[in-house]
Structure 1
Amino acid sequence: MYAISLGDDGAELRPLEPWQAGEFLAHVERGREFIGQYNGLPDLITDLASSRAFLQTYADKLAADAGRICGIRTGGELVGAVSLRTMDVAQGTAEAGCWLEPSAVGKGLVTRAVRVLIDWAIEERGIHRVEWWVVAENAPSIAVARRLGMRKDGVLRESYLYRGKRYDEEIWSVLAPEWRAASRGV
């Protein structure tokens, strides 16, 4: 299995696959409350079977060239993940997503990992537009979008029903020419 270095601190980005369901479940358990603030993942991953099914969904997306998921690791331990929740190569669009367990927050891991994923989507798969959907109250995730050079496209008012409460969602995006210009320092 390959690993992509995320910097001098030893953090790595690696694919997540169904055979890693036990490790993935343990990761979700460690971060269940924190991850679940705005992300429904902990409601989906409740046991080994649901963990395996979730990872299989992404294995199927990968096989169909319609998405992917990669784990963020520090010291060999799974501490978070980034994904292309959707990817439509024909339309040139993708939606990136992420989460971390509390022990990994504040180290720039998500920004570094999403940067790798966006670069791959644009340069290898020809994606033109990468979106970032975020609950308007999730300031850390909005900060990631800003650090990645994304622009806020708009707000979908009370569009996200989560655990009985309606939230506004912000949509941020970066276009391939903007990404390339920023990468070159233009």
Structure 2
Amino acid sequence: MFAIPLDTPGTPGAELRPLEPWRAAEFLAHMDRGREHIGRFIGLPDVVRDLDGARAYLQSYADKQAADGGRVHGIWLDGTLVGGVLFRVFDAAAGTCEVGCWLEPAAVGRGLITRAARILIDWAVEERGMHRIEWVTAAGNTASVRVAERLGMTREGVLRESYLHRGVRHDMEYWSVLAPHWRAGRPAR
């Protein structure tokens, strides 16, 4: 289909590609490699436990994409799926979307999520006319908070203990960037 280079220092073989249902076995293998790390703050590994779960998850995003309500893209490093970014919510009529992400441990700290999220946000703003892009993360997920900061997003608030994950209540931080600020590049991207 297509691949967009995510070249950053130390990651010359990184690419962003659509993550489609026919890649379910590869997606499951990726989840198995990163299950504990990825599952610290998000429920994705709890949904993708077997091949049927992997296929169903990817099909749900294929259906969302067909309905213009979401999309999922994988991040490959040297030909291996190591993470992903997605539009968890995509409401073209309202001009609002939410970007999310995950990454297995072998790919952490290379700037891949920040670069991939920038590509998604650029597309949402410039191609689709989105006005508001949101980022929601557990307050304890400092890596995700740092991505929101690097993307130039504004922290709008915290919903205290609003997210129950694996028996633990987490505070959720809400971040966003508006199209005019994204275009202006404040802070510099």
Q: Could you say which TM-score interval applies, normalised by the shorter chain?
A: over 0.9
1:10 Cα offset (Å) = 2.1
Please state how far the C-alpha of 1:7 moved relative to its aligned partner.
1.6
Aligned length: 186
Of 113, 118, 135, the residue aligned with 1:115 is: 118
CA distance in 2, matches of 1:53, 1:122: 29
| Residue deviations 1:58-106 (CA, integer Å, cap 9, x gap) | 0001111111000001101100000000000000000010000000000
Inter-CA distance 149–56: structure 2 relative to 1 (3 Å threshold)? same
Matching of residue 22 in structure 1 with residue 25 in structure 2: yes
SS in 1 for 2:185: helix
Secondary structure of 1:39's counterpart equals coil
The amino acid across from 1:30 in the alignment is: R
Q: 5+ residue gaps in structure 2? A: none
Q: Which amino acid aligns with 2:82?
A: V
Tell me the equivalent position of 1:143. 146
| 2-structure distance, mates of 1:165, 1:100 | 21
Q: 1:72 to 1:136 in 2, by over 3 A?
A: same
Among 75, 81, 96, which residue is 1:72 paired with? 75
Report the RMSD for the aligned CA atoms in angstroms. Answer: 1.4
Q: How does 1:58-137 map to 2 (within 5 A)?
A: 58-137=61-140
Q: TM-score, normalised by structure 2?
A: 0.96
Q: Match for 2:16 among 13, 34, 57? A: 13
Dislocated runs of 4+, deviation >3 Å? 183-186
